[in-house]
């Protein structure tokens, strides 16, 4: 067996045991870098803006990474990848919380009248808030205990909210940029591809079920 075959046929538990801690540390990279740059005074002329942009980007990227796990896992048959989906989702929530806290704390100093004025003036804040609010039930029900309590079907239905979160994130970004729409449109395109994959997979599995039912009917009749 070649090294590549050994790698591909490795057992899921083995892959997870070795890769999960490495992936976890890599996910902490952006916040570690921000902290390091902050201490060294390397965040540029407007540190709050730098933190907002970096944490906003990370939130979006982790949401898209979470949504990429299922297609990637099916296409590459690396089924162990499912073990990192929850981690990516929780990192999206973590960076989303840092992003929101930057606005609440560093930008607005928790001054309610200033926040309300900002919400009224900049509609993209409302889209961002919607995206963040939709992430809360996902984070709260991310445990194995919650899956058991809710039952797989209901849990899965709730967790489809992640598409709405990512869509709100994209709208938030499209609304906030003044001229160059390239980056938010790249995120929108990626989200579109991931959603199209899901719809395609759903239609294919439904057609499969219909065909199986039809075959069963024929063989009984």
Give min distance, CB of 183 to ligand HEM, in A: 7
Q: Which two tokens stand for residue 27?
A: 């996910």
**Does 66 help bind ligand HEM (rule: CB under 6 A)?**
no
Closest CA to 60 of 149, 171, 158, 150: 171
For helices 161-176 and 182-220, the axis angle rounded to 10 degrees is: 160
Binding of ligand HEM at residue 37 (CB under 6 A)? no
> Is 131 a binder of ligand HEM (CB under 6 A)?
yes
Q: Least CB distance from residue 57 to ligand HEM, whole Å?
A: 5
- For position 103 contacting ligand HEM by CB under 6 A, the verdict is yes
Q: Give the integer Cα–Cα distance in Å for 138 and 157.
A: 11
Q: Minimum Å distance from CB 114 to ligand HEM?
A: 12
Among 30, 83, 89, 96, binds ligand HEM (CB under 6 A): 96
Indicate the DSSP class of residue 11: -
CB of 108 to ligand HEM, least distance (A): 9
Given phi > 0 = left and psi -120 to 50 = alpha, else beta, which region is 180? beta
Pick 30 or 83: Cβ nearer ligand HEM: 30
- Determine if 147 is a binding residue for ligand HEM (CB under 6 A): no
Interactions with ligand HEM, residue window 163-182 (CB under 6 A): 165, 168-169, 172-173, 176
Helix, strand, coil percentages in the chain from 3-state DSSP, rounded to 5? 85, 0, 15
Q: Could you tell me the end-to-end alpha-carbon distance of the chain, in angstroms, rounded to an integer? A: 48
By CB under 6 A, the count of residues binding ligand HEM is 21
Q: Is residue 100 close enough to count as binding ligand HEM by CB under 6 A?
A: yes
Token pair 């999206």 in the structure block, residue: 92
Q: Which stretch binds ligand HEM (CB under 6 A): 16-24, 80-88, 128-136, 155-163?
A: 128-136
Residue with tokens 């439904």: 206
Residue 132 binds ligand HEM (CB under 6 A):
yes
Q: Is 83 or 173 the residue whose CB approaches ligand HEM more closely?
A: 173
- Tally of CB atoms within 10 A around 112: 8
**Is the four-CA dihedral 210, 216, 218, 220 of positive or negative sign?**
negative
Phi-psi region of 44 (alpha: psi -120 to 50; beta: other; left: phi over 0): left
Task: Tell me which residues touch ligand HEM (CB under 6 A).
Answer: 52-53, 56-57, 59-60, 96, 99-100, 103, 125, 128-129, 131-132, 165, 168-169, 172-173, 176
């Amino acid at each position: 067996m070649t090294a590549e075959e050994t790698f591909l046929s490795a057992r899921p538990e083995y892959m997870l045991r070795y890769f999960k801690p490495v992936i976890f540390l890599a996910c902490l990279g952006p916040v570690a870098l921000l902290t390091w740059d902050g201490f060294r005074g390397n965040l540029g002329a407007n540190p709050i803006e730098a933190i907002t942009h970096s944490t906003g980007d990370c939130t979006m990227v982790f949401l898209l990474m979470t949504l990429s796990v299922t297609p990637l896992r099916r296409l590459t048959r690396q089924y162990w990848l499912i073990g990192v989906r929850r981690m990516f989702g929780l990192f999206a929530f973590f960076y989303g919380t840092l992003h929101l806290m930057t606005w609440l704390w560093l930008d607005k100093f928790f001054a309610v009248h200033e926040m309300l004025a900002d919400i009224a003036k900049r509609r993209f804040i409302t889209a961002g808030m919607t995206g963040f609010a939709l992430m809360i039930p996902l984070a709260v029900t991310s445990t194995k205990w919650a899956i058991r309590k809710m039952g797989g079907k209901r849990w899965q239905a709730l967790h489809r909210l992640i598409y709405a979160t990512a869509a709100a994130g994209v709208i938030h970004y499209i609304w906030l940029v003044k001229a160059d729409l390239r980056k938010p449109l790249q995120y929108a395109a990626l989200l579109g591809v991931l959603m199209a994959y899901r719809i395609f997979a759903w239609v294919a599995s439904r057609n499969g079920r219909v065909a199986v039912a039809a075959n069963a009917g024929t063989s009984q009749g």
